[in-house]
Each structure stands twice: as structure tokens, then as C-alpha cells.
Amino acid sequence: MTKRNRSGKTFTAPELKTLLGGIAPRQFFKEYWQKKPLLVRQAVPDLDRVLNGQGLFDLACRDDAESRLVRPVGSNWQRQLGPFDPAALARLPKRRWSLLVSGVNMLIPQGDALLNAFNFAPYARLDDLMVSFAPPGGGVGPHFDSYDVFLIQGLGRRRWEISGQDDLELVDDCPLRILKRFRVDQSWELEPGDMLYLPPKYAHNGVALTDCMTWSIGFRAPSAQEIATEFLVYMQDSICLDGAYADPDLGYSQRPGKIPPLMVDRLKDMIRAIRWTDRDMEDFIGRYLSEPKPCVFFDPPAQPAGFKRFHKLANERGLKLDARSRMLYLGGIFFMNGERLEAAHGMQTELRQLADRRHLPAGEFDEVFTSLLYEWYRAGYLTMA
């Protein structure tokens, strides 16, 4: 997909063949994914034309962006959260700091195009695009991420050191997750366009050799604890149990402070009566995976087209999902931004196409289908292509 940037230059997300350095996607998943690092030279050329340091500074000053500034202070590290004041960023020293902005895929169209170039993995696994800027000596220190990451060199040069070490102990009392010990196994200098893939928990340290920008494609890997907590929160709303505690057989209490064993047994039975079905779990999974992050807000159109005009334009131009929208499906059930939709059979092909390609080409959409699309258009979930 080709996107025009603010300076008028275009960015075309690379073809899969270029992105994976000629490795077939099946081979990538078999040999590298979650298994071992992969360095691809010239995987994503031209990123330096999309955004420069000033462009990233501008994003870091926006209040709809998640940004942070990181720098070493003595033997510790300091982390400041954005949004930042442009004057404060202009006063930063010439060396050894790093400014990072997350969710860049939701801030610039080229970021959305780049993130979606990685849809050889399912959208349910793709998380977001983070972009960092660092002057010489800058970086976020030796660390590991708990998810897979593709680190793409946008601008300038950076040395990446990596380690397959099992020792993942972190420095105590540090606002950043810094490894206590880091034993370098391999290192490379990345030039603009080069890309390094790292599996989860692979230790790494990137140090800027010149003014440098790194674009990181991150993946979602929720912890078992998070899934359990979120599922129980979900069940709280969907559970519906009859009856209440009763004890017509209760006797006189000589030790009123003691919880009666009979009461414990009956309460345990009430807890054991909590059940969930495959349908509950699948509904939760679809809603949970399609739920936008809490910091995401949609912008409904300020002057929405009326239904008739929308229908005409949608048929003529097609539609595309907003960069913030998460649309997924499980069989014939669709999930749009945390909402469930059981679609009529006749709509399913188009809805799958919208979820897979994130756009619908011009067509002849019937009234019922268009009403659904219109609702999503009014909510800001999709726009005219």
C-alpha cells in the first residue's frame, strides 16, 4: 500500500520477499519465529524519508501519543513520560538519551502501512509500531522484551548487540527493565533499511552510532495472569446464578465467631456452580483481542454523510478501516473494537475481506450490509477509501 507523507514523498511498504530477505514466510515461521534471530539487510528501504528526528519530536509533543524519554544517570536510568514540551526537547544534550513514541501506526498513515506489512502474522498477534530517536551513544540499555520484535533501522546507524543468555535477572530499583549482566554473543551495525528480528526474551542492546531512528514492530503476548484476570472480569458481567444462601437447618451458635463448616460447604457449592462454556471463552477471546488499548479514542466524522450519500460513496470508492480499529473473526462471528457481531451468512465474505485486507473495494453493497457499515462509519471505525 502506498502512502504519501507530509513532505509529499511516498512510502511503499515492502513486498514480503524483500521484508524477509528472500526467505519464504513458511520457512521464516518454521526456522526463526520464536526460535532464533534473523538479520535482513535492506528489508525496509526509504523509512528515513517518512519521518525524521523533528517529525518524531512533533509526535512526542502530542497528547494523543504515548511517549517517553530515557537516559542513563550515573549508574541508574531516568525515565520521563510525555507529552513533552518542544522547548524541553530542543534543550536535550548532544549524546546518550533516547526518545520513544509508541502507537505510531495510529499517528501517521505510513506507520499503519508498515505495521500491516507484517500481517503475515495474524492481526490478533500484531501489537503496534514504536519509533525511537537517539543521538550518538543513546539507547534504552541491555534488556529483553517478552514478545517478538522486528527492529528496523530508519535513519542513521546503530550497533545491535544480542545474547541468547538464560540469565534474565534485572537491575533492582530501576525505572527501566535493565539486565544485571549482559554477555554479548553477536553484534551488527545496522544501516538505514536493515532489520533485525528477535524472538521473545532474547537479550539485546542497541547503541546509536550517529543520530539514529529505530522502528520496532511489536507483538502481543498476554501473560497467563492477564488472561485469567480479564476473563474473570468478563465472566462477572455474563454470569447469572439463581438462588441465595439459606440455612433452615441452622442451630444455636455457642461460638458465634466461628464460620460454620456447613456454611463453608454450601458457599463452596455456590462457587462450584460457576461454569463457563466454549462459547463464553470464544466470545471473551474475540472481544479481548479486538479491544483497542485504553488510550485509544475514535474520532467520529464531524459532519457525517447521510445514509444515502454514504451508500453511494461506499459503492463508488470502497471503505477502509481506521488505523485504530481492530477487526477480527472466528468462524462466522466478527469482533469489531471489542464488540461482537453475528453476521448473516450473506455478509460474511465481505466482512472477512474487510478484516483481512482492512479495506473493501468499491462494490454494490445491499441496504442491510450498508446499514452495518454506516454504523461503523458513524462511530469512526471506518472511513471512505
Q: Which residues bind Co ion (CB under 5 A)?
A: 145
Report which residue's Cβ sits closest to Co ion.
Answer: 145
Q: Least CB distance from residue 186 to ligand SIN, whole Å?
A: 15
Window 96 to 115, contacts with ligand SIN (CB under 6 A): 98
Which member of 67, 105, 116, 132 binds ligand SIN (CB under 6 A)? 132
d(CA 44, CA 193): 5
User: Shortest approach of Co ion to residue 177 CB, angstroms?
Assistant: 9
Of the candidate residues 112, 145, 148, 283, the single one contacting ligand SIN (CB under 6 A):
145
The residue (of 145 and 148) whose beta carbon lies closer to Co ion is 145
Q: Write down the least CB distance from residue 161 to Co ion, Å.
A: 12
Q: Which residue, 148 or 322, has its beta carbon nearer to Co ion?
A: 148
With respect to ligand SIN, which residue has the nearer C-beta, 154 or 286? 154
Taking CB under 6 A as the criterion, the residue among 103, 139, 192, 199 binding ligand SIN is 139
Which CA distances in Å does 171 have to 143, 167, 178, 182, 201?
10, 12, 6, 11, 16
Distances (CA, A) of 192 to 11, 12, 49, 56: 14, 15, 10, 16
Q: Work out how close the CB of 117 gets to Co ion at its nearest, in angstroms, rounded to a whole number.
A: 20
DSSP output for 95-149: SS-EEEEE-GGGT-HHHHHHHHTTTTS-TTTEEEEEEEEE-TT----SB--SS-E
- Name 132's Cβ contacts closer than 8 Å, sequence gap at least 6: 56, 98, 99, 100, 101, 140, 213, 214, 216
Which of 251, 250, 244, 249 has its CA nearest to residue 269? 244
* Pair 364, 317: CB distance under 8 Å: no
Q: Which of 13, 60, 101, 140 binds ligand SIN (CB under 6 A)?
A: 140
206 in contact with ligand SIN (CB under 6 A):
yes
Does 194 contact ligand SIN by CB under 6 A? no
Q: Which is nearer to ligand SIN, 61 or 179 (CB)?
A: 179
Instruction: Return the number of the residue (107 or 151) whose C-beta is nearest ligand SIN.
Output: 151
Binding mask 28-47 for ligand SIN (x = CB under 6 A): --------------------
174 vs 343 by CB, closer to ligand SIN: 174
Q: Give me the least distance between CB of 148 and Co ion, in Å please.
A: 11
Residue 178: contacted member of Co ion, ligand SIN, none (CB under 5 to 8 Å, by partner type): none
Q: Find the part of the chain contacting ligand SIN (CB under 6 A) among 42-50, 80-88, 137-145, 288-296.
A: 137-145
Q: Give the start-end residues of each E strand in the chain.
A: 2-4, 10-12, 38-40, 66-73, 76-81, 98-102, 126-134, 149-155, 158-163, 186-190, 195-198, 203-208, 212-219, 319-321, 327-330, 333-336, 339-342, 359-360, 382-384
Residue 227: left (phi > 0), alpha (psi -120 to 50), or beta?
alpha
Number of residues that bind ligand SIN (CB under 6 A): 11
**Would you call the peptide bond into 93 cis, given omega within 30 degrees of 0 as the criterion?**
no
List residues binding ligand SIN (CB under 6 A): 98, 132, 139-140, 145, 149, 151, 204, 206, 214, 216
